[in-house]
Structure 1
Amino acid sequence: MDETPVQAAGCVLWRRSPVAGGLEICLVHRPKYDDWSHPKGKLKPGEEPLAGALREVAEETGCAAEPDGELPTLRYPVNGRPKEVRYWAAEAVSGHFTPNDEVDRVLWLSPAAARDRLTQPRDRELVDAFLRMSAPLRRPG
């Protein structure tokens, strides 16, 4: 069995709420797994992890994003093989979601609602890390 970790990358994608001004986090729904997660995916051969994370965000959400800082790397088994996913916080700066075969819905939720909606408990750790990192962003004005 191959013990080389599958390399992947993704983002905790965020924006300021167009209504309330607070932070919102984008979650994607993958119909293949019927789950809610952060946008992420496998790296292409030779692809830098941050470039792959931003590519996956664009592919899955339609958003261009500006990275803010690196978040914890998650490691877990998938089909008996280790997987390593590097994450960044990234602000959505433009774009529009169009449903596709991989992602059929996106939701923009408050951090607390996003944390509750995530399917995998390990993904909630990323919301917590993002909130620690983004404390200055939550201050008014």
Structure 2
Amino acid sequence: MSESTGARARTVLAAGCVLWRRSPHSADGTEICLVHRPKYDDWSHPKGKLKHAEDALAGALREVLEETGHHCSPGARLGTVSYLVNGRPKEVVYWAAEATDGAFEPNDEVDRVLWLPPPTARTRLTQPRDRLLIDALLDSLPVKSAPES
């Protein structure tokens, strides 16, 4: 096994989504779902480790459902975030995903969710690296045209 293959084998592979919805409070607003993980006392986008041989998008959608209780419709791939966890490399692939239906119930991994406008979500996220994903999401959404007068 080459050194790069060995490093790749040790990399933790994960996937997640920047889950969003049209705001029920504003006709032109978007809200982003953040999850609170009590184990780490942090706010993040829903994500998790991939199961053996699991497709990354399938894993991302599974994690969203497990952590938020919401089904979603996947959109654009937003990119990969890489960082170290306990000295081991981790790569998380993210997609934009519009919430379609469902309801949150607290569970072992996530005790709270918040639906926030993008600027508020950006400041609530614990890790600065997660903030760039909000920009990528907003860039991927179709621009609403202004009503004609």
**TM-score bracket relative to the smaller structure:** over 0.9
Unmatched 5+ stretches in structure 1:
none
TM-score (norm 1): 0.94
Equivalent-residue separation in structure 2 for 1:134 and 1:117 (angstroms): 21
Q: Which residue of 1 aligns with 2:32?
A: 25
Equivalent-residue separation in structure 1 for 2:79 and 2:128 (angstroms): 14
Q: Which residue of 2 aligns with 1:10?
A: 16
Match of 1:103, SS state, is coil
Q: Establish whether residue 85 from structure 1 lines up as the match of residue 74 from structure 2.
A: no
The number of residue pairs the alignment matches comes to 139
Letter paired with 2:125: L
Equivalent-residue separation in structure 1 for 2:107 and 2:54 (angstroms): 23
Q: Establish whether residue 38 from structure 1 lines up as the match of residue 45 from structure 2.
A: yes
User: Greater Rg, structure 1 or structure 2?
Assistant: 2
TM-score (norm 2): 0.89
Q: Deviations over 1:53-86 (max 9, x none)?
A: 0000000000000001100100001000000000
Q: Establish whether residue 99 from structure 1 lines up as the match of residue 101 from structure 2.
A: no
How large is the RMSD of aligned CA atoms in angstroms? 1.3
Match of 1:101, SS state, is coil
Percent identity over paired residues = 67
Q: Which residue of 2 aligns with 1:59?
A: 66
Equivalent-residue separation in structure 1 for 2:138 and 2:112 (angstroms): 24
Unmatched 5+ stretches in structure 2:
1-5
Report the alpha carbon displacement of residue 129 of structure 1 after superposing the two structures with TM: 0.8
Equivalent-residue separation in structure 2 for 1:140 and 1:45 (angstroms): 46
Report the alpha carbon displacement of residue 135 of structure 1 after superposing the two structures with TM: 4.7
> Runs (4+) of structure 1 moved beyond 2 Å?
138-141
Equivalent-residue separation in structure 2 for 1:39 and 1:88 (angstroms): 11
Q: Deviations over 1:103-134 (max 9, x none)?
A: 00000000010000000000001001111112
Match of 1:46, SS state, is coil
